[in-house]
Amino acid sequence: MTFDPSLVVGPELLAQHGIGVVAPFDFALDRELWRWTPDDVSLFMTRLPYVPVPVTVEMASALSDQSIVRQATRDVLAPEPLAVAYACASGSFIRGRAGELQLHQSMLQAGAPVSTTTSGALVESLGLLGARRIAVVTPYIDAVTERLVSFLGEHGIEVVTSVGLGLLSHIWKVGYGEIVSAVSAVDCPEAEAVFISCTNVPTYDIIAPLEQMIGKPVLTANQVTMCSALRAMGRAASGPGQSLVSLAPFTAA
């Protein structure tokens, strides 16, 4: 019997396009990023060097060092991604608006055809949704959460209320229940949307239910990162029931 490969239909036959992902050394949610990704888009992952400190301002600053981000970007260019995403919220907001722009430029200088950062993607996403006043949930200590509030303020986005979980490590172990409780506590009528920070916080399955519960868009770090990178290459993300995925238009790269 002769095998006819033309009879096989599945994602493995689709021509693949790639997104390079530069992530912190402790990033533990690769699988979650894939859930927003269409079948014909692959993720090429690379990690930043290990920094032996807790999740503090110092750690976030170390992760945003332009020289290591440039090197990581070069490392992930071998499979020729159409976009490169810096997947770290704190690392991209910790030095303010100017620091985020410098990260973006560093990736382009390293050869990325298009670049995005988590915090830049957040600002972009809030613009698409027309939200200028938001509530924020973070896993961070107060000093780091305050840097996020300041970064958003530089972009004309007001954080009307916020809560930080005060974690210094093992953020990926935060459960859905804890996040739902934090969102319930922080949401208020003045907030036009809620943002859940940190790419190490799992959120995919609870975004749509949270939006139904509070009646407004819920954005998360991994969600905005993937939507922005896919939009940059002219693709739409997968995320049933998520306002950002269903509302955000995308344009050809």
Residues 106, 227 share a domain: yes
- Output the domain CATH number for residue 42: 3.40.50.12500
pLDDT digits (tens, 9 = 90+) for 159-205: 999 999 999 899 999 999 999 999 999 999 999 999 999 999 999 99
Residues 205, 130 share a domain: yes
**Which tokens is 9 given?**
């239909």
pLDDT digits (tens, 9 = 90+) for 93-152: 999 999 999 999 999 999 999 999 999 999 999 999 999 999 999 999 999 999 999 999
Residues 193, 168 share a domain: yes
In whole angstroms, give the CA distance from residue 140 to residue 1.
60
Q: What residues make up the domain containing 172? A: 122-219
12 inside domain: no
Q: How far is CA 56 from the centre of its chain?
A: 19
In whole angstroms, give the CA distance from residue 122 to residue 197.
10
202 inside domain: yes
Pairing mode of beta strands 193-196, 218-220: parallel
63 inside domain: yes
Is residue 14 predicted with pLDDT exceeding 80?
no
- Quick one: which of 180, 172, 174 has its CA closest to 211? 180
Number of domains, the chain: 2
Residues 108, 232 share a domain: yes
3-state secondary structure of 187: coil
CA atoms within 13 A on the CB side of 26: 20
194 inside domain: yes
49 inside domain: yes
List Cβ<8 Å contacts ≥24 apart for 181-186. 182/137, 183/135, 183/137, 183/210, 183/214, 183/218, 184/213, 184/214, 186/135, 186/136, 186/137, 186/161, 186/162
Residues 90, 60 share a domain: yes
- Output the domain CATH number for residue 128: 3.40.50.1860
Residues 209, 126 share a domain: yes
9 inside domain: no
Confidence (pLDDT) at 251? 46
Across the chain, mean pLDDT equals 93
In whole angstroms, give the CA distance from residue 69 to residue 92.
11
Mean of pLDDT values over 74-103: 97
Residues 192, 69 share a domain: no
pLDDT digits (tens, 9 = 90+) for 215-237: 999 999 999 999 999 999 989 99
11 inside domain: no
Confidence (pLDDT) at 65? 94
Is residue 10 predicted with pLDDT exceeding 70?
no
In whole angstroms, give the CA distance from residue 19 to residue 30.
13
Categorise residue 138: left if φ over 0, alpha if ψ from -120 to 50, beta otherwise: beta
Residues 112, 127 share a domain: no
Residues 166, 108 share a domain: no
The CA–CA distances, whole Å, from 6 to 1, 3, 122, 156 equal 15, 9, 42, 54
Of the pLDDT bands very low, low, confident and very high (cuts 50, 70, 90), residue 15 is confident
195 inside domain: yes
Residues 159, 100 share a domain: no
